[in-house]
Amino acid sequence: MEKNNYQKNIEELIVSLDSNLENGLTDEQVLSRHESYGFNQLDEMEKRSWFLRFFDQINDFMIYVLIAASILSFITDEISEGFLILAIVLINALLGLFQEAKAEKALESIKAMSSPQAKVLRNGTQILIDVKNITVGDIVILDAGDYVPADVRIIESINLKTDESPLTGEALPVEKTVDAIKADDVALGDRTNLGFMGTVVTYGRGKAIVTDIAMKTQLGKIATMLSETKDEDTPLQQSMAKLGKTLAILALGITFIIFAITIGEAYIIDGTASFDVWKEALLTSVALAVAAIPEGLPAIITIVLALGMQNLVKKEAIIRTLPAVETLGSTSIICSDKTGTLTQNLMTVTKVYTHDSYIDINDQTKTTEALDKLTLMGSLCNDTKVSIQDGTYVKIGDPTEIAFIDLAIILKKDPTKILKENVRLYELPFDSTRKMMTTVHDFKDGRYAVIKGAPDIIFGRTIKVEGQDNLNIKTYEKSNQEMSDQALRVLAVAYKKLDKSVNLKSLKSEDLETDLTLLGLIGMIDPARPEAKDAIELCNQAGIKTIMITGDHINTAVAIAKDLKILSSTEIAITGKDLDHMDDDEFYEKLELIRVYARVSPENKVRIVDAWRKAGKVVAMTGDGVNDAPSIKKADIGIAMGITGTEVAKGAADMVLTDDNFATIVNAVSEGRTIFANIKKAIHYLLSCNIGEIITIFLGTTLGILVFSGRVTTLTAVQILWVNLVTDSLMAIALGLEPKEDNIMQQMPRDTKKSIFADGLGKKIALQGLLLGLISFSAYTIGWFLESSALRADKMITAETMTFIVLALSQLAHAFNVRSQTSSLFKLKRNKYMYYALFASLALQLIVVFLPFTRRIFGITTLSLSMWVIIIGLVLLPVLIVETSKIIKRKQS
């Protein structure tokens, strides 16, 4: 079986890749390989045109019905209605297009991560070339600060470390080795003799041979996964699609029935149907189609989502796509990265062992002489660059070494003063063979070598322990194990007194790093965010399961997960390798029990998201690295970190956290739940109002001959459009801005398989719509018989006017009923937007009624005082009836 690149020794690699360790490739080899492998650049994703994006906005069944209604309006010479409907369609499409602006930047961001130039050996000479010209077999020179230009195998490492967190999720820089790794199936984060395209060299220097370029690299594979991941409809989009089809079928059915009844009546009464009858039937059908479809609903949902988006920005969450605002509220699984999201992304000393006792480190820790000495030595044997800018310490260096500096700051020691007063005279840099670092300094009582490194190595070189009369290293060995079991990264600090007369440059490891005095052990970890624990508890109350997915080692992940109450005693943690060895059946069987995944690959993350989605859950996936991008895009709601996140992750995400905080996700979920609840209220309101309009027209058409001795038009298309677009829409938007309910996060996530009309909402909409329709038809009947002595045409216009006013105003009053299905409107939190909308809608309606110009447009007339008294009574009737039903329901429950 062919060996993996990390399993081959250097000689095997040179032969298999036909390269030369000393001279690199020749020009002829480079030319030939460019023809065979192509250039070292990632494929570009084809962008959708603005026209196609615009089409996406109108590619909806409800929109098609609206367009059909506008065409009917033009055919029947109802030009104003036709243009009004088309204007609605256009405005909604533009709102969606410009609010979402979902630019696909992920691949461009991946390309931007590649270093523009790299140092290689060609024809025996070191040259600088464009990264795209790198090819398989090239010998690459790597120095601190360089991006790794392709996937490479390390062939020389002098303290070489790379930051692979964007690719693997590993929190700490990875020390690189040259030796072959014999094991099979080694996780990406453990392939320490490989370097990966897009990662960065943070320390040391070395050489490497290029093994893969372009789309064959790990970065390229992620880019492929990203481009193959298709966007899917959100729960809200799916619900709205079903609603649109239901309403469209309803509209077409009712329209056909009324059309048939109108023509049938003509044949029954007159024996024929004249052109005027056919035209009247068609006009009535158009009015019904307009009444059945809530024209403003798409735009109202867009506006409510956009306002929700702006509100979330104030709470440190930037939403990149409008539907994602609501999807948050449906979330039942949050797959969260550990580093920086659940933790502080800051290696922190939390425990010290010295003088045979533990010291917990926090802001209240009281210093001791032993702790002071340990802190002093740890700060000196350290390559962190420290300065003070604007009264704040600025630290540049390895996270582990920065932790020593932070320890000094916690203990009220000035690290800049420590470094200045104890100048480094000599050093032996850290390397992977010795696993130690040594620096030499002069103190008041003499010259000392200070050693920091792996505890097991330093224990073996210790002849004395600070604070002990007799050497007892076992207590430190036990403490080292205990701290490691707590997932702490443990380093030992020791020292050795030197003879000042000895030439420092002649000293070697055996002179400085033997016969040591052990000073103590330092335990550090990237600690959990304090607010993350409360947020996870809130998730548990809300029925949301938190899953930790990280590139870190499993021990570290488990420790943090237990601290945050993510992992209980009955649940399990596994590695990416464990997951690879599971078939789908075994994985699905254990899915509910697995709460922690460690050392995972990008493919693992996508598989985890897929599994939960197949289980019917709405999944949110967080991440910051390139390796997170495919799973971020695959999830129902992809979340990227704004501070530490790569541009690739941000480009693939639906939401970006500006504070990288898990608690912000939970806050956003509560906002999303509120937004959906409010959208539901808007739908409840609009549909009950539209059913009221249908009932009004239906009763006029079917009962007109019996009650009014002939067919009557209770409402015209233009009157319905006015109510739907102006008065109703403002109130619906106000309902979309209802305050958050107190118990919103004590409810279980909504079942996305359930209809939007589930849990009794459909019944309420139908009954309340029937109530509004009966009240409006009653207004027509009353208006007709109040004008008993008038001509038929005068009766009709008076009755239509009363119906139009009662319909509009009763719907405004009904909006207050919809605020809560159980609580009295007099006990709800104040929603100032409802009163603004009521005032504006009422003013617009009264302008239409009282201005002669607008009365002519809407075909209405003036009314007497007695008629207005009747109108007010009818308008308040829905509120009285619904409030009474709420009282009865509360008493029964």
Report helix angle 662-708 to 297-313, nearest 10.
160
- Given a contact cutoff of 8 angstroms between Cβ atoms, the answer to whether 91 and 299 are in contact is yes
Length, in residues, of the chain: 893
**Spatial separation of the C-alpha atoms in residues 120 and 141, rounded to whole Å:** 6
**Spatial separation of the C-alpha atoms in residues 364 and 833, rounded to whole Å:** 48
Q: Using DSSP bridges, classify how beta strands 333-336 and 619-623 pair: parallel, antiparallel or unpaired.
A: parallel
Both tokens of 372, joined, read: 């002071």
Residue 453's closest CA among 386, 408, 515, 400? 400
**Spatial separation of the C-alpha atoms in residues 673 and 618, rounded to whole Å:** 13
Both tokens of 834, joined, read: 């409802």
Both tokens of 642, joined, read: 């704004």
What single-letter amino acid sits at 652? A
- Given a contact cutoff of 8 angstroms between Cβ atoms, the answer to whether 291 and 694 are in contact is yes
**Spatial separation of the C-alpha atoms in residues 752 and 461, rounded to whole Å:** 63
3-state helix, strand, coil in the chain (%, to 5): 55, 15, 30
> 458-464 — which CB contacts under 8 Å span 24+ positions?
458/492, 458/494, 458/516, 458/518, 459/492, 459/518, 461/494, 461/513, 461/514, 461/515, 461/516, 462/494, 462/516, 462/517, 462/518, 463/515, 463/516, 463/517, 464/516, 464/517, 464/518
**Spatial separation of the C-alpha atoms in residues 680 and 686, rounded to whole Å:** 10
- Element spanning 170, H or E: none
**Spatial separation of the C-alpha atoms in residues 882 and 890, rounded to whole Å:** 12
Residue with tokens 């895009």: 633
C-alpha dihedral sign at 772, 775, 780, 781: positive
Neighbours of 581 (CB within 10 A): 12
C-alpha dihedral sign at 757, 758, 759, 763: positive
Residue 406's closest CA among 348, 366, 450, 358? 348
Instruction: Find the angle CA(126)-CA(130)-CA(136) to the nearest 5 degrees.
Output: 75
For 627-644, the DSSP string reads GGHHHHHHSSEEEEESSS
Does residue 337 have an active-site annotation? yes
**Spatial separation of the C-alpha atoms in residues 446 and 454, rounded to whole Å:** 26
Residue with tokens 């599994």: 611
**Spatial separation of the C-alpha atoms in residues 642 and 340, rounded to whole Å:** 11
The DSSP symbol for 828 reads S
Both tokens of 669, joined, read: 């979920």
Give the N- to C-terminal CA distance of the chain in Å, as an integer. Answer: 71
- Given a contact cutoff of 8 angstroms between Cβ atoms, the answer to whether 323 and 297 are in contact is no
Residue 317 DSSP SS3 = strand
**Spatial separation of the C-alpha atoms in residues 330 and 237, rounded to whole Å:** 12
Residue 539, phi then psi, degrees to nearest 5: -60, -45
- Active site residue: 60, 146, 212, 337, which one? 337
The torsion of the CA quartet 863, 867, 869, 875, rounded to 10 degrees, works out to -90
List Cα–Cα distances, 486 to 3, 530, 534, 584, 606, in angstroms: 36, 18, 22, 32, 30
What single-letter amino acid sits at 450? V
Catalytic residue list: 337
